[in-house]
Chains A and B, each alone.
Chain A
């Protein structure tokens, strides 16, 4: 028979804790009221040493358990590509990351860009029940639980993901609108090659099909060479499990390939001996072999995130022009910056170690003279590919260069930002 006493004692203790909590909260409230009067002043007051005497706030359970950013930091993602997210049905489509506020190279998981195939609900997957099946041209088809996957040797790598629709144009007002469909994170998981070897991959296999567990069961076809080189079956992102929007509990990371290949909510991999156009591959159907080749692996690309569209330089003087560079072909080797619309270029400083198929932060110290300038960045990757202008792409492909010329594949051309005499920054393509 259960003794009721322990539970009533627990109630008592809980009550006492509540009472203490109330006192503490009350104390902090009066502290806030006290602190605000002399130190903070009106919101428009200039920065001052006295303002450093900030209000003191009691920690909430949320602050203790998972942490909360400052309420002064309001940076957020926005729906992209002209379609609302969530839409009227609650589907998520494409969501752009606030690159204008980014620092360093890792994007916070909460702000990492997200995209789904043709709009999708977000699967609410119980990791204890989820499995990954590998079959097709393998000697030993296998079903792996999440616990199984975590027993294999793990890898941890920095990689960017970029949506093929990350296409800057004259209409974009900010770098979030022009380039916000790419982000970079630290991914942890098991190499797909490790799993394919576990399953006894047969030498007839030339392609593999990866399929997610969202409603449309999106599936993509990729070369087995890629699988055996660097594809990660990832369960970790930036030090914690993947977020549901990023494919929880397990997704593919296909370094340097267009975003859609990075299959989320991964449930099935099939080794095959023929290229097959699957649901997610249909967008890659092309008549021209040039367009087909360029719409696969992402080219060398960079963009200045500060100063960028919508921002304003308050006065002439020194600023660090900073931004991100990346390439599907390898690590970033070099970034150059121009402050005179491409007439001259200076090497920017790369921050930290550039990693293969990862965002690299660059910076260039610039003493703004208060005049009109168009600022650009251009990157070169480890295999010597150089980020082009739109005109250079048209010339290389032997097609007329007109305002309507569309860069094949993911648009990796140079992005200009125009700085006016009042310091305001606008889209240089406009």
Chain B
């Protein structure tokens, strides 16, 4: 009898599918789930919308991006980074002189440029931009850096397809394991 009683406990320990749950919390509504703004590098989670560099150029002034980042992303008045790389597409993305973090020339995916603008801009007025406006500003920044043609219409279906200048030339973070050194063979 005693050993039989242990069986369900053993099953519980053996199977993560049977992990202890408490029935707490509630299911999010569809509207709440839709409010999540995390998007994948392949474009999953992008909101419907579209925009062009020409529309973005207008917004760049209208939304006061120009005040901090300067005309066409060069020579802003604050510590805000330049958004137009110093050097053109013929130069390695790491050497183009993107300014600050190097967005947008160093972003491995165009979705990152979109995400950055949507989360973080305009500074002090975050969250005011509509999806169309974010697509337009993304198109503008990519166009002034010669990453997409001036007339390309960006939307939720093609944004993640854009070939970014950095290509595959960036390092993936290694697999993390508990109680393991940071870097194999590195003693410090």
Q: Which of A95-103, A138-146, A237-245, A334-342 lies at the interface?
A: A138-146
Stretch binding the partner chain, chosen from A8-16, A18-26, A288-296:
A288-296
> For the complex, is B5 an interface residue (Cβ under 8 Å from A)?
no
Contact with B along A300-344 (1 / 0, CB 8 A): 100000000000000000000000000011100000000000000
**Which residue of chain A is the closest to B17 with respect to CB atoms?**
A200
- Decide: A287 and B169 in contact? CB cutoff 8 A: yes
Interface segment among B46-54, B58-66, B102-110, B146-154: the answer is: B102-110
**Could you tell me the distance between the alpha carbons of A64 and B20 in the complex, rounded to whole angstroms?**
43
Query: In the complex, A329→B179 CA distance in Å?
Result: 6
- CB-CB < 8 A to B116: which residues of A? 279, 282
- Contact in complex: A142, B25 (CB < 8 Å): yes
Taken residue by residue from 146 to 181, chain B's Cβ proximity to chain A (1 for < 8 Å, 0 otherwise) reads as 000000000000000000000001111111111111
Between B32, B33, B94, B119, the greatest number of chain A beta carbons within 10 A of the residue's beta carbon is seen for B119
Interface residues on A, range: 35 or more
Q: Which residues of B contact A140 (CB under 8 A)?
A: 27
Known contacts A144-B24, A215-B126, A293-B182: A118-B38 contact under CB 8 Å: no
Known: A215-B126, A282-B116, A287-B94. A133 touches B36 (CB 8 A): yes
- Residue from B36, B126, B176 within 8 A of A268 (CB atoms): B36
Interface of chain B: mostly helix, strand, loop or mixed? loop
Interface residues of A in 135-174 (CB under 8 A from B): 135-136, 140-145, 148, 151-152
- The answer to whether A272 has its CB under 8 Å from any CB of chain B is yes
Q: Are B178 and A296 in contact (CB under 8 A)?
A: no
A136 to B38, CA, bound (A): 10
A203 vs B37: C-alpha distance when bound (angstroms):
23
Residue of A nearest to B93 (CB): A287
A278 at the interface (CB under 8 A from B): yes
User: B170 contacts A219, CB within 8 Å?
Assistant: no
List B contacts of A200 (CB < 8 A).
21
Q: Could you tell me if B188 and A291 are in contact, using CB atoms closer than 8 angstroms? A: no
> Which residues 243-272 of A sit at the B interface, judged by CB distance below 8 A?
268, 270, 272
A218, A275, A383: the one within 8 Å of B119 (CB): A218
A141/B33 in contact, CB under 8 A:
yes
For A89, give the chain B residue with the smallest CB separation: B124
Identity of the chain A residue whose Cβ is nearest the Cβ of B39 in the assembled complex: A276
Tell whether A216 pairs with B25 under 8 Å between CB atoms, given A285-B170, A297-B176: no
The stretch from A176-184, A223-231, A422-430 touching chain B is A223-231
User: Is B9's CB within 8 Å of the partner chain A?
Assistant: no
Across the interface, do B27 and A142 meet the contact criterion of CB distance under 8 Å? yes
A203 to B127 Cα, complex, angstroms: 33
CA of A386 to CA of B181 in the docked complex: distance in angstroms?
A: 11
Say whether, besides A142-B27, A219-B119, A268-B36, A198 and B174 are in contact (CB < 8 Å): no
**Given A148-B25, A289-B171, does the pair A118, B120 have CB atoms closer than 8 Å?**
yes
Residues of A close to B130: CB separation below 8 A: none
Please, how many angstroms separate the alpha-carbon atoms of A392 and B42 in the complex? 41
Inter-chain contacts of B144 with A (CB < 8 A): none
Interface residue count for B (Cβ, 8 Å)? 55
A189 part of interface (Cβ distance < 8 Å): no
In the complex, the answer to whether A292 meets B174 with C-beta atoms within 8 Å is yes
Does the CB pair B25–A198 fall under 8 Å? yes
Our pick among A148, A197, A289 for the contact of B20 (Cβ within 8 Å) is A197
Among residues of B, the one whose C-beta sits closest to the C-beta of A286 is B171
The distance in angstroms between the C-alpha atoms of A300 and B187, with both chains bound, is 10
User: Contacting A388 at CB < 8 Å: which of B20, B37, B40, B188?
Assistant: B188
Query: Which residues of B have CB within 8 Å of A225?
Result: 175-178
Q: A79 interface residue, CB < 8 Å from B?
A: no
Residues from chain B with Cβ under 8 Å of A151 in the complex: 22, 24
Residue in B27, B127, B181 whose CB lies within 8 Å of A141: B27
Q: How far is the CB of B156 from chain A (nearest CB, A)?
A: 16
Which residues B106-154 have CB closer than 8 A to chain A?
Answer: 106-109, 111-112, 115-116, 119-120, 123-124, 126-127
Question: Is A299 located at the chain interface by the 8 A CB criterion?
Answer: yes
Q: Is A127 an interface residue (CB 8 A)?
A: no
CB proximity of B93 to chain A, nearest CB, Å: 9
Smallest CB separation, A172 vs chain B (Å): 21
A393 within 8 A of B: yes
Q: Are B176 and A226 in contact (CB under 8 A)?
A: yes
A-B contact pairs, 11 of them (CB 8 A): A133-B33, A140-B27, A142-B26, A143-B27, A203-B16, A282-B101, A283-B101, A284-B173, A285-B101, A294-B183, A385-B188
- Name B's A-contacting residues (CB within 8 A): 16, 19-22, 24-28, 32-33, 36-42, 94, 101-103, 106-109, 111-112, 115-116, 119-120, 123-124, 126-127, 169-183, 186-188
